[in-house]
A and B are shown apart, each in its own frame.
Chain A
Amino acid sequence: MEFLRPATWDEALAVKAEYPTALPISGGTDVMVEMNFDVHRPSAILDLNRITELSQWEITGDVVKLGASVPYSRIIDELSGPLPGLALAAHTVGSPQIRNRGGVGGNLGAASPAGDSHPALLAAGRDVFVEVASVRGTRMIAIDDFYVGVKRNSMEQDELIRAVHIPVADGPQQFSKIGTRNAMVIAVCAFGFALHPKNGTVGTGIGSAAPTPRRAVEAEEYLQGVLAERGLWESGDLLGTEVIQKFGELVKAAASPIDDVRGTADYRRHALAVMARRTLTWTWNDYSKQIRSAA
Chain B
Amino acid sequence: MSTRTIQGQKNLQDIRQASKDGIGGSPLRPDGTLKVRGEFAYSSDMWHEDMLWGMALRSPHPRADILSVDISEALKVPGVYAVLTHNDIPGSKYYGLEIQDQPALAIDKVRYHGEAIALVAADHPETARRAVKKIKVEYEVLAPIVTEEQCLNPEVYGYVHEPHEYKSHGSGNIVHSQKLVSGGGVTDEIRALADVIVKGDYEVGMQDQAFLGPESGLAVPAEDGGIDLYVATQWLHVDRQQMAPVLALPEEKVRLTLAGVGGAFGGREDLSMQIHACLLAQHTGKPVKIVYSRDESFFGHVHRHPAKMTYEHGATRDGKLVFADARIVLDGGAYASASPAVVGNAASLGHGPYVIPNVRMEAIALYSNNPSCGAMRGFGAVQAAFAYESQMDKLAAELGMDPVELRQLNAMAEGDYMPTGQQIDSPAPVAELLQRVKDMPLPPPLDLDNLDIRQIPGALSNTSHGEGIVRGIGYSVGIKNVGFSEGFDDYSTARVRIEVIGGEPVAMVHTAMAEVGQGGVTVHAQIVRTELGVEQVTIHPANTEVGSAGSTSASRQTYMTGGAVKLAAEAVKQAVIDKGRRRYGWTQNDLTLAGGKVVSESQGSLISIVDLLGDEAIDLTREHHHRPTVPFDKETGQGFGHVQYTFCANRAVVDVDVELGLVKVVELTAAQDVGKALNPLSVVGQIQGGCTQALGLAVMEEIIVKDGKVRNASFTDYLIPTILDTPPIPVDVLELPDPHAPYGLRGVGEAPTVSATPSIVAAIRAATGLALNRIPVRPEHLTGTL
Bound state CA distance, A290 and B710, in angstroms? Answer: 52
**Interface: A262 (CB within 8 A):** yes
Of the stretches A142-150, A173-181, A224-232, the one at the interface is: A173-181
Interface presence of A185 (CB below 8 A):
yes
Smallest distance from the beta carbon of B662 to chain A beta carbons, Å?
A: 7
B661 near A: Cβ within 8 Å? Answer: yes
A266 nearest in chain B by CB position: B785
Q: Does A208 contact B (CB under 8 A)?
A: no
- Of residues 306 through 323 on chain B, the ones whose CB sits less than 8 Å from some CB of chain A are none
B786 in contact with A183 (CB, 8 Å): no
Inter-chain contacts of B661 with A (CB < 8 A): 267, 271
Q: B605 an interface residue at 8 Å Cβ cutoff?
A: no
Beta-carbon contact of A182 and B461 below 8 Å: yes
Interface residues as binary, A155-168 with B (CB distance below 8 Å gives 1, 0 otherwise):
00000000000000
A61 to chain B, nearest CB (A): 29
Contact of A266 among B295, B454, B725, B786 (CB under 8 A): B786
Chain A residues whose C-beta falls within 8 Å of the C-beta of B779 in the assembled complex = 178, 180, 188, 263, 267, 271
Chain A residues, Cβ within 8 Å of B714? 37
A182-B725 in contact given A92-B462, A264-B780, A270-B785 (Cβ < 8 Å): yes
Q: List the one stretch of B416-424, B427-435, B715-723 in contact with chain A.
A: B715-723
Chain B residues near A175 (CB-CB < 8 A): 462
Q: Contact between A183 and B459 (Cβ–Cβ < 8 Å)?
A: yes
* Complex contact A261–B462 (CB within 8 A): no
Q: Are B293 and A180 neighbours in the complex by a CB distance under 8 Å? A: no
Tell yes or no: B636 within 8 A of A by CB.
Answer: no
Most buried by B among A181, A183, A261, A264: A181
Indicate if the CB atoms of A181 and B462 lie closer than 8 Å.
no
Quick one: closest A residue to B456, CB to CB? A182
- Among B294, B463, B467, B783, the one with the most A-chain Cβ atoms within 10 Å of its Cβ is B463
Contact of B457 with A by CB under 8 A? yes
Inter-chain contact B464/A178, CB cutoff 8 Å? no
| Chain B proximity mask over A247-277: 1 for CB below 8 Å, otherwise 0 | 0000000000000011110110111001100
Is A184 on the interface with B (CB-CB < 8 A)? yes
Interchain CB contact under 8 A, B717 and A176 = no
Interfacial chain A residues near B581, Cβ < 8 Å: none
Contact status B458-A264, CB under 8 Å: no
* A176 & B780 in contact (Cβ 8 Å cutoff): no
Whether A177 lies near B463 (C-beta < 8 A) is: yes
Interface contact B785-A182, CB-CB below 8 Å? no
Residue in A91, A182, A184 with the greatest tally of chain B CB atoms within 10 Å: A182
Contact A180 B783 (CB under 8 A): no
| Complex Cα–Cα for A177 and B458 (A) | 8
B-side contacts of A176, CB under 8 Å: 458, 461-463
| CB proximity of B204 to chain A, nearest CB, Å | 17
Assess whether B465 is in contact with A178, with CB atoms less than 8 Å apart.
Answer: no
- Residue B740 at the chain A interface, CB threshold 8 Å: no
B704 at the interface (CB under 8 A from A): yes
Whether B458 lies near A182 (C-beta < 8 A) is yes
Most chain B CB neighbours (cut-off 10 Å) among A36, A177, A261, A262? A261
Per a CB cutoff under 8 Å, which of A36, A183, A188, A269 touches B722? A183
Tell whether, in the assembled complex, residue B464 and residue A278 are in contact, meaning their CB atoms are under 8 Å apart.
yes
From A36, A179, A181, A261, B293 is in contact (CB under 8 Å) with A36
Interface status of A282 (Cβ within 8 A of chain B): yes
Q: How far is the CB of B75 from chain A (nearest CB, A)?
A: 22
Q: Known contacts A278-B465, A282-B465: does B295 contact A182 (CB below 8 Å)?
A: no
Q: Is B92 an interface residue (CB 8 A)?
A: no
Complex Cα spacing A198 to B699, Å? 44
Q: Chain A residues near B341 (CB, 8 Å)?
A: none
Give per-residue flags for B122-136: 1 if the beta carbon is below 8 A from chain A beta carbons, else 0: 000000010000000
Closest CB in chain A relative to B128 CB, distance in Å: 13
Number of interface residues of A (CB under 8 A): 34
Q: A182: which B residues are within 8 A, CB to CB?
A: 454, 457-459, 461, 662, 664, 722, 724-725
Say if the beta carbon of B440 comes within 8 Å of chain A.
no
Any A CB within 8 A of the CB of B88: no
Contact of A184 among B294, B468, B722 (CB under 8 A): B722
CB contact between B783 and one of A33, A181, A267, A282 (< 8 Å): that residue: A267
Contact with A along B441-485 (1 / 0, CB 8 A): 000000000000010011111111101100000000000000000
B722→A264 contact, CB < 8 A: no
In the bound complex, do residue B780 and residue A181 qualify as a contact, i.e. CB atoms below 8 Å apart?
no
| CB interface residues, A 1-60, toward B, < 8 Å | 33, 36-38
Q: Contact check, B719 vs A267: say whether CB atoms are below 8 A apart.
A: no
**In the complex the two chains form, what is the Cα distance from A79 to B714 in whole Å?**
33
Known A264-B786, A274-B660; judge A183-B724 contact (CB<8 A). yes
Asked whether, in the complex, the Cβ of A186 is within 8 Å of the Cβ of B717, the reply is yes
Shortest Cβ distance from A90 into chain B, in angstroms?
A: 10
Interface residue tally for chain B (C-beta within 8 Å):
41
- Would you call B70 an interface residue if the criterion is a C-beta within 8 Å of the partner chain's C-beta atoms? no
Question: Chain A residues near B199 (CB, 8 Å)?
Answer: none
Best-buried of B462, B467, B721, B785 by chain A (most CB within 10 Å): B462
Q: A193 CA to B430 CA in the complex, in Å?
A: 52
Q: Does A88 contact B (CB under 8 A)?
A: yes
Contact assessment for B295 and A37 in the assembled complex, using a CB-CB cutoff below 8 Å: yes
B700 contacts the other chain (CB 8 A): yes
Q: Does B540 contact A (CB under 8 A)?
A: no
In the assembled complex, B711 has its CB within 8 A of some CB on chain A = yes
A179 to B464, CA, bound (A): 13
Identify B463's interface contact among A37, A261, A266, A278, CB under 8 A.
A278
Cβ distance A215 to chain B, nearest Cβ, rounded Å? 20
Tell me if B659 and A274 are in contact (CB < 8 A).
yes
Residues of A within 8 A of B711 (CB): 261
Measured CA separation A13–B779 after assembly (Å): 46
- Which residues of chain A have C-beta atoms less than 8 A from B460's C-beta? 91-92, 183
Q: CA separation between A91 and B454, bound complex, in Å?
A: 11
Q: Chain A's nearest CB lies how many Å from the CB of B572?
A: 48
Least distance between B99 CB and chain A CB atoms (Å): 32
Whether the pair A180, B700 counts as a contact (CB closer than 8 A) is yes
- For residue B436, CB closer than 8 A to chain A, the reply is no
B284 within 8 A of A: no
**A275, B721: Cβ atoms under 8 Å?**
no
Closest to B696 in A: A181
Q: Mark A232-258, 1 if CB is under 8 A from B, else 0.
A: 000000000000000000000000000
CA separation between A261 and B778, bound complex, in Å?
A: 11
Q: Are B780 and A267 in contact (CB under 8 A)?
A: yes
Known A266-B780, A266-B785, A271-B779: A174·B716 in contact at CB below 8 Å: no
- The answer to the question of B171 belonging to the interface, with a C-beta cut-off of 8 Å to chain A, is no
B785 to chain A, nearest CB (A): 4
Interface residues of A in 166-217 (CB under 8 A from B): 174-186, 188
Q: Which residues of A contact B700 (CB under 8 A)?
A: 180-181
Question: Are A271 and B461 interface neighbours, CB within 8 A?
Answer: no
Among B692-751, those with CB < 8 Å from A are: 699-700, 704, 711-712, 714, 716-717, 719, 721-725
Give A186 to B461 CA distance when docked, in angstroms. Answer: 11
Contact yes or no, B717 A174, CB < 8 A: no
| Residue of chain B at shortest CB distance from A186 | B716
How many angstroms between the C-alpha atoms of A258 and B112 in the bound complex? Answer: 27
Q: How far, in angstroms, from A183 to B786 measured CA to CA in the complex?
A: 23
Question: Which residues of chain B are within 8 angstroms of A183 by Cβ–Cβ distance?
Answer: 459-460, 722-725
B residues in contact with A185, CB < 8 Å: 461, 719
Which residues in B have their C-beta under 8 angstroms from that of A179?
A: 458, 461
Name the A residues within 8 Å of B465 (CB-CB).
278, 282
User: How far is B659's CA from A269's CA once the two chains are assembled, in angstroms?
Assistant: 12
- Given A88-B462, A92-B462, A262-B717, check contact A178 B662 (CB 8 Å): yes
Residues of chain A with a CB closer than 8 A to B464's CB = 278
28 A-B residue contacts at CB 8 Å? A36-B293, A36-B294, A92-B461, A175-B462, A176-B463, A178-B463, A178-B660, A180-B719, A180-B778, A180-B779, A181-B719, A181-B724, A182-B457, A182-B722, A183-B723, A183-B724, A186-B717, A261-B717, A262-B717, A263-B778, A267-B786, A270-B783, A270-B785, A271-B660, A271-B779, A275-B660, A278-B463, A282-B465
The 4 A-B residue pairs with the shortest CB-CB distance, nearest first, are: A267-B785, A266-B785, A183-B724, A182-B459
